[in-house]
Amino acid sequence: MARPNEEVAAVLQEYADLVAITGGDAFKARAYEKAARAIGGHPSDVSKLDIDGLREIPNVGKSIAEKVVEFLGTGRVAAFEEIRTSVPAGVRELLTIPTLGPHKALVLYEELGVSSVDELLDAIHEERLRDLKGFGEKTEQNILHGIELMKKAGGRILLSAASDAAERIVADLSRIDGCERCAFAGSLRRMRETIGDIDVLVAADRAEPFMEAISTLPYTAEVIARGSKKTSVRTIDGLQIDLRVLPPDAWGAGLLYFTGSKPHNIRIREIAVRQGWKLSEYGLFHGKSGKKITSETEEAIYAKLGLPWIPPTLREDRGEVAAGLRDELPTLIEEADIRGDLHTHTDLTDGLASLEDMIAAVAERGYAYYAITDHAPNLYMQRMTDAKILAQREQVRKLDGKHRKVRLLHGTELNIGPDGDVDWPEEFLAGFDLCVASVHDHFKQNRAEQTRRLVRACENPAVSIIGHPTTRLLGKRPGIDADFDEVFAACARTGTALEINAHPERLDLGDEDILRARRHGVKFAINTDAHSVMHLPYMRYGAGTAQRGWLTKDDVINTWPLQRLRRFLRPSGHGR
Ligand code: DGT
Ligand code: CA
Ligand code: CA
Ligand code: ZN
């Protein structure tokens, strides 16, 4: 498509949206929308056309053609300016939510001042929509569903959404007669941070009942392709699922093949070929006779190739095959090794749960220790004060030991200012058991400035952990630009841990940065940054990401016994 066509289409579509959102003439809005689509899809460059030429495009009448000419000549349309300045850009973003109409978008804006998708999510979670006329819990669900759809439309979906869907499907297929095994494979089993499609495997003698079942499940919206070995469907949430049914004796070979990654598969196939063997999704075979060597389990196939079983999170062709041949694979950290969460929030700031509820939920998870790290004063909207945090500390000290097994640490999440300063002076900071420090603003500073502020935060003796170090939001916001090798070196030098933030929208640090940081000899903390008890289970995504970064228990400070952890947090022995 020619570039001017795109620009004209965008400006007409914007006008249509503005008319709709301000409750204007629906007929007019539709007319502009149709014209936008027609011009966007027009095969030749519209900037070369005059008014008459433009009017030959379907759905483009005199008045619209004149506005297009005006736009192409001056870069603006006078008639659009007034309505445009009356509606902030963020409100238009609301219209991209497929389940939110212009009328409701307008109410949200006028009544609650909501002017972006993120603000809308906040408003829903704070239950502020419930007070609006015409909005109920059902509306909330619809909007949340729409936002999820929108996020998925970006192509890849978050690990958390894919995990939830896959677990439900595996459970449903496992109940069908003749199902000998059922599991998910692909990038989801490797716990990549985002997932393209969900690969589900079934071991059964007859494929047909499973192909039929996946095609007719209540959450299946569309059957993309149906065959005797593979069926692909799209769910009502827009996820693609590939189901493959394998002969039961080829389970291991199929699981290995469809777990991937492709480069890992190629690497191990090379080993087979060097032996004169053939490796496929059906098994490991002699090249000449075609006789089967083995196929039933992954372990057996790896073993024949001279390899230990390689955890799926390592199967990215990042040296795991060579390490396996030397028998030097790391003993990866597991979620069960985690003894406590070191970055969480309560309703004293922007968390949803009370301190007591958070502690009860943490005790339930069997943690040995737990840090409360509410936001510090420089994140102004959280309204933290010295008095509030000290009162919280007193409460924490009182509750400590009430749940016999969980020891409580009182901390805070400091804000790393543009110069690397943090919220409180040294004496005040010394009163905390631990301080996480994170970047929450000034994302646009240049590389040298970002590097310096992070390094200065590391050098602050009170700071033990750098929270969500890159500040990226998957599918929404790239990380800040900094020389992270320099930051990682500073962490190693100063004994500051890097967080692996386990929130599925963050996973920050991500696997590749973890690998880099590890080479500097840095320690890590896997934290959920929970803002509600519902977020505490996100720990599994953090553990998976740490595995993808080849980390062992020893690399991760919140797998350590409390005494060792305390020595790391307060090396000079001051504080409690
Ligand atoms: P995704 O879905 O983009 O997040 O990534 P994957 O890794 O799940 O990729 P997908 O769904 O295309 O295929 C699943 C696995 O099947 C993949 O990880 C490895 C295996 N596979 C697929 N196509 C090929 C291929 O052409 N050669 C080899 N060796 N393996 C393949
Ligand atoms: Ca996949
Ligand atoms: Ca696939
Ligand atoms: Zn936080």
Q: What is the C-alpha separation between 35 and 1, in angstroms, rounded?
A: 15
CATH code, domain carrying 239: 3.30.460.10
**CA of 192, closest atom in ligand 1:** 4
SS3 494: helix
Which among 164, 160, 163, 148 has a CA at the least distance from the CA of 238?
Answer: 148
Six-digit token string for 375: 């936001």
Question: 186 CB less than 6 Å from ligand 1?
Answer: yes
Same domain, 187 and 237: yes
The set of residues, in sequence order, having a beta carbon less than 8 Å from that of 438 and lying 6+ positions away, is: 413, 414, 415, 416, 466, 467, 468, 471, 499
Domain end marker among 127, 153, 179:
153
CATH code for position 321: 3.30.210.10
Residue 501: inside a domain, yes or no? yes
Cβ 193 under 6 angstroms from ligand 1: no
Residue 448 placed within a domain: yes
CB 184 less than 6 A from any atom of ligand 1: no
Q: Which of 262, 298, 474 maximizes ligand 1 atoms within 8 Å of its Cβ, making it the mutation to test the pocket? A: 262
Specify if 108 maps to a domain. Answer: yes
> Along the 576 residues of the chain, how does pLDDT read in single tens digits?
456 887 898 889 889 988 888 878 888 999 999 999 889 878 788 989 999 999 999 899 999 999 999 998 888 898 888 888 877 767 777 877 877 877 788 889 888 988 888 889 999 988 899 888 888 888 898 898 888 777 665 578 899 999 999 999 999 999 999 999 999 999 999 999 999 999 999 999 999 999 999 999 988 888 989 999 999 998 877 789 999 999 999 999 999 999 999 999 999 999 999 999 999 999 999 999 999 999 999 999 999 999 999 999 999 999 999 999 999 999 999 999 999 999 999 999 988 899 999 999 999 999 999 999 999 999 988 889 999 999 999 999 999 988 778 999 999 999 999 999 999 999 999 999 999 999 999 999 999 999 999 999 999 999 999 999 999 999 778 899 999 999 999 999 999 999 999 999 999 999 999 999 999 999 999 999 999 998 999 999 999 999 999 999 999 999 999 999 999 998 764 443
Q: Indicate if 135 and 172 belong to the same structural domain.
A: no
Q: Domain check: are 458 and 519 in the same one?
A: yes
411 within domain boundaries: yes
Domain that holds residue 131: 4-153
Helices 62-74 and 78-86, packing angle to 10 deg: 80
Same domain? For 450 and 564 the reply is yes
DSSP three-state, residue 356: helix
> Ligand 1 pocket, 266 CB below 6 A?
yes
| 423 plus 542 within the same structural domain | yes
Contact call for residues 144 and 178 (beta carbons, < 8 A) = no
Residue 267 Cβ < 6 Å to ligand 1: no
Amino acid making up residue 26: A
Alpha carbons 400 and 179: distance in angstroms, whole number: 49
For residues 526 and 338, the answer to whether their CB atoms sit within 8 Å is yes
Alpha carbons 451 and 439: distance in angstroms, whole number:
11
Residues 12, 41: contact at Cβ < 8 Å?
no
CB 411 within 8 A of CB 462: no
User: Domain containing 45 — which CATH number?
Assistant: 1.10.150.110
Phi, psi dihedrals of residue 113, rounded to the nearest 5°: 70, 20
Residue 32 inside a domain? The answer is yes
Ligand 1 close to Cβ of residue 270 (< 6 A): no
Write phi, then psi, for 214 (nearest 5 degrees).
-65, -30
Last residue of a domain, one of 97, 126, 153: 153
**Same structural domain, 299 and 384:** no
Pick from 486, 491, 493, 449: nearest CA to 466: 491
Q: How many structural domains compose the chain?
A: 4
- Dihedral sign from CA coordinates of 412, 415, 421, 423: negative
Counted residue by residue, the chain has a size of 576
The residue to mutate among 159, 199, 315, 548, having the most atoms of ligand 1 within 8 angstroms of its beta carbon, is 199
**516 in the same domain as 424:** yes
- Has residue 257 been placed in a domain? no
Residues 392 and 539 placed together within one structural domain of the fold: yes
Which protein residues have a CB closer than 5 Å to ligand 3 (ion)? 197, 199, 242
Q: Is residue 475 part of a domain?
A: yes
157, 265, 279, 315, best to mutate for ligand 1 pocket (most atoms within 8 Å of CB): 265
Which of 273, 294, 325 is the last residue before a domain boundary? 325
CATH code where residue 413 lies: 3.20.20.140
Q: Is 48 in the pocket of ligand 1 (CB under 6 A)?
A: no
Whether 557 maps to a domain, the answer reads: yes
Tell me whether strands 497-501 and 277-280 are parallel, antiparallel or unpaired: unpaired
Does the CB atom of residue 251 touch ligand 1 within 6 A?
no
Regarding whether 383 and 268 lie in a shared domain, the answer is: no
Same domain, 347 and 364: yes
The closest-lying atom of ligand 1 relative to the alpha carbon of residue 257 is 20
Residue 201 and residue 294 in one domain: no
* Residues 363 and 498 reside in one and the same domain: yes
Backbone angles phi, psi at 235, to 5 degrees: -85, 170
Whether this prediction's pTM lies above 0.85 is answered by no
Query: What ligand has the least distance to the C-alpha of 260?
Result: 1
- CB atoms within 5 A of ion ligand 4 belong to 413, 529
